[in-house]
Amino acid sequence: MQIDLHHGMTWVVARAAGFIEQEAEIIAHASQYVDDATNYGHIEFDNGAAYERIATAHKMLDYKNLDSLKNMKVWVPFHFLPGNGGLPAGQNPSGSFIQKLVCKPHSYVAKDMITECIADKARPYGLHRLGITSHVFIDTWGHQGFAGIQHKVNKVNEIKDLNGEAEETWSEHISEYFSDIFQDDIPSLGHGQALSHPDQPHQVWSYINGLDEKVVRDNPSDFLVAADELCKVYQAYRGKEITGLGESVKQEIAQCFIEFNMDDGEVRHQLWLDAIKTDRFGLGAYTLTYIAKGEGSWKHQALGTTRAKGDDDSYPFRREFLTSNWKYFHDAAKKHRLCVIDDILPRYGICVS
């Protein structure tokens, strides 16, 4: 999924579950920032203090994507949560080990991730971790059928849209630019070869995967289920009755999937922000914004810098850094990754550390 759902829709669902506006904003911001936190490593302060942040995403054509260890530390815990074939801990899907790594919607692994997140809600970064968990959770619908490593299961052929017309694959899309680099071995990581089809809420499509299986995807239906289940997660987090989305909010979300049918996620995102500002969902009008980098971003507020990188710099230390949203996000991300890779996945016989 893209920024329209990870930020805009997530805010709507959080409000529908009873979070106040500012809480919903933290959750939604953290959810989207999972896709935008691409830098990692230590930062140093002028008083000798230091802090280590981690990357929760890489750009799809970044050379780091070719490093299997980094794939496991980034794509597996934050984007393509292994589904264990949809089976509970102690059971194994038929086939090879890759079947354990393929993402499955609302898997037992995902439910364990939710349980661990809720158990950690008293932490100062509790809402930030909930946002990160939200991103991973709804992506189990968007990224179903793909794995966060390079494997033939991620190969995509014969993409067809709702009308059965052939679509250009990622391999065809970039081959003219990168043929000298990749030659015949274009990386089959995640859903890269499917372009943005798995992320678009209006898309109904099909493809043949690397195991020669035909896969049919109905994103509007899948994503509406994801929104409803996310609402239940939020209600459980708040200790409230678990009912899912109210019918009116659910209908408006479904209608947005239909109306906001352009391929550009940023354009769809602005339409979600406009809908929130005009109180389309009946949750109260609110001016929601998102700044990934630069002035006004969480990083800028925490470190006082508008530079995208600049890790060699020494930053002035301010006590407010310790309670900044940016630090809390990275605190939560480190806890999430450790929990998924070291605690949850081994229960399912999955070792990726």
- 9 contact partners, CB below 8 Å, separation of at least 6: 227, 253, 256, 272
Domains: count for the chain: 1
**Contact, 229 vs 222, CB < 8 A?**
no
Would you say residue 162 lies in a domain? no
- 176 contact partners, CB below 8 Å, separation of at least 6: none
Would you say residue 214 lies in a domain? no
Tokens of 101: 């790594």
- 95 contact partners, CB below 8 Å, separation of at least 6: none
Letter for the amino acid at 139? D
> pLDDT in tens for each of the 353 residues of the chain?
999 999 999 999 999 999 999 999 999 999 999 999 999 899 999 999 999 999 999 765 454 455 555 667 899 999 999 999 999 999 999 988 999 999 999 999 999 999 999 999 999 999 999 999 999 999 999 999 999 888 888 888 888 886 555 555 444 443 443 344 443 444 555 544 556 677 889 999 998 988 888 999 999 999 999 999 999 999 999 999 999 999 999 999 999 999 999 989 999 999 999 999 999 999 999 999 999 999 999 999 999 987 766 555 689 999 999 999 999 999 999 999 999 999 999 999 999 87
Would you say residue 316 lies in a domain? yes
Q: Which residues constitute the domain of residue 261?
A: 3-145+219-348
pTM over 0.95: no
Distance of CA 139 to the CA centre of its chain: 6
Tokens of 130: 């909930």
Would you say residue 141 lies in a domain? yes
Would you say residue 163 lies in a domain? no
Would you say residue 229 lies in a domain? yes
Q: Beginning with the edge strand found earlier in the chain, give each strand of the sheet holding 314-315 in spatial order.
A: 50-53, 41-45, 314-315
3-class SS shares of the chain: helix, strand, coil, % to 5: 50, 10, 40
